[in-house]
């Protein structure tokens, strides 16, 4: 209860201060910005243990961003999103307070700082993927352990914090008060992340990463040995040539609770990713690999001994067709095992186009 009271007091105080500072400001309206994209194409999926399929893949997003500045120079912003056919809308965004110093404070649904500072690793820009029919839990992303609740805040320092090129973030969330059920529920978390950018050898070097811990609960049955949490670290280098080349690598290690496959309710896992991006004229080439491994098991038990694994290789070519319009050709190949047995191998192609505004 103390955590909830502290969180509520902080939220009301922050928004209250912002509204007081804005009270004497003449009404000038809220700035509105519209942005989004429409991507559509065809995927050709060839799983080794199933039937080849062809399907149209769509990704349509429309975002409305709102912002206004008060007399103290604080910019208050929020947004809502009308998404694709699977999710009609997303109204979960909270408020962001951006200060003149360059620092920012996100309030409500603020996310997890550990995931926010995971280094971007190049991979296919297409929308293809090999059909997954197994209970394989091996991760292929660096942020698989970044849990949080809606009642959270995240503070971002300004750039060049303590050192040139350094930026830090800290996030906290607390119990939503929802009834606990027989499945794992995230109650609270803390996360910290950092990104450091510096010039090196005729290019730009980026180092990033974070650490997080999550507390969870379950109303009956055995609690998991490992709550969701862990760390990620990565680096990328981009040269300053007319045709820039980016090389990046990342690693993550952690645990995750609340899985829903055949009684395997928690896991310990790690993943390694690497990728290359090359831009020349209107063409962008991406190549990426990801290798993840997980030991998933029932709540409260030790590791099972038989692990899930996923090895993914992907590549794409993106060509600028016009301002805001890109054509995409992507390819992904997957080699996987579930509890030590081969599964979900195959390949997939994608060809399509993306229009953004």
Do residues 136 and 338 lie in contact, with contact meaning Cβ atoms separated by under 8 Å? yes
CATH for 76: 2.40.160.10
pTM for the full model? Answer: 0.84
Q: Three-class SS of residue 313?
A: strand
Distances (CA, A) of 128 to 19, 109, 206: 46, 29, 28
Signed CA dihedral, 22, 28, 29, 33: sign only: negative
How would you class 78 by CB atoms within 10 Å of its CB: exposed for 0-12, middle for 13-18, buried for 19 or more? middle
Confidence (pLDDT) at 352? 97
Whether 44 has a pLDDT exceeding 70, the answer reads yes
Give, as one character, the DSSP assignment of residue 159.
S
More confident position, 304 or 161: 161
Q: What is the DSSP track for 19-79? A: HHHTTTSPP---EEEEEEEEEEEEEEEEETTS--EEEEEEEEEEEEEEEEE-TTS-EEEEE
Q: How many folded domains does the chain comprise?
A: 1
User: What is the domain extent for residue 255?
Assistant: 2-356
* Interval 226-272: pLDDT, tens: 889 999 999 999 999 999 999 999 999 999 998 876 556 899 999 99
Distances (CA, A) of 189 to 152, 171, 233, 251, 256: 9, 8, 19, 21, 13
pLDDT, averaged across the chain: 87
* Interval 58-110: pLDDT, tens: 888 899 999 999 999 999 999 988 875 566 666 678 899 999 999 999 999 99
Confidence (pLDDT) at 18? 42
């Amino acid at each position: 209860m103390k955590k909830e009271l502290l969180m509520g007091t902080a939220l009301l105080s922050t928004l209250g201060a912002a509204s007081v500072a804005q009270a004497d400001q003449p009404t000038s309206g809220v700035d509105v910005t519209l942005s989004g994209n429409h991507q559509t194409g065809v995927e050709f999926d060839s799983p080794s243990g199933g039937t080849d399929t062809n399907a149209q893949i769509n990704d349509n997003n429309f975002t409305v961003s709102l912002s206004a500045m008060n007399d103290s120079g604080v910019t208050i912003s929020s947004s809502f999103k009308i998404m694709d056919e699977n999710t009609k809308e997303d109204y979960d965004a909270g408020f962001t307070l951006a200060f003149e110093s360059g620092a920012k404070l996100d309030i409500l649904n603020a996310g997890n700082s550990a995931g926010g500072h995971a280094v971007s690793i190049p991979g296919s820009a297409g929308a293809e993927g090999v059909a997954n029919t197994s209970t394989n839990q091996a991760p292929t992303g660096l942020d698989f352990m970044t849990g949080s609740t809606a009642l959270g805040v995240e503070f971002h320092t300004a750039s060049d914090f303590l050192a040139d090129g350094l930026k830090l973030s800290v996030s906290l969330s607390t119990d939503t008060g929802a009834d606990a059920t027989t499945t794992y529920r995230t109650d609270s978390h803390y996360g910290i992340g950092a990104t450091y950018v510096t010039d090196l050898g005729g290019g730009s070097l980026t180092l990033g990463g974070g650490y997080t811990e999550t507390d969870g609960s379950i109303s009956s049955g055995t609690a998991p040995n490992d709550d969701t949490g862990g760390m990620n670290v990565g680096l990328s280098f981009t040269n300053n040539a007319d045709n820039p080349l980016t090389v990046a690598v990342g690693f993550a290690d952690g645990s995750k609770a609340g899985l829903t496959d055949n009684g395997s309710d928690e896991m310990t896992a790690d993943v390694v990713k690497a990728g290359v991006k090359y831009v020349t004229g209107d063409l962008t080439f991406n190549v990426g690999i990801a290798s993840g491994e997980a030991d998933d098991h029932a709540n409260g038990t030790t590791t099972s001994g038989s692990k899930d694994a996923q090895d993914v290789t992907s590549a794409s070519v993106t060509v600028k067709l016009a301002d805001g319009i890109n054509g995409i050709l992507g390819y992904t190949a997957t080699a996987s095992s579930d509890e030590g047995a081969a599964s979900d191998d195959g390949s997939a192609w994608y060809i399509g186009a993306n229009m953004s505004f």
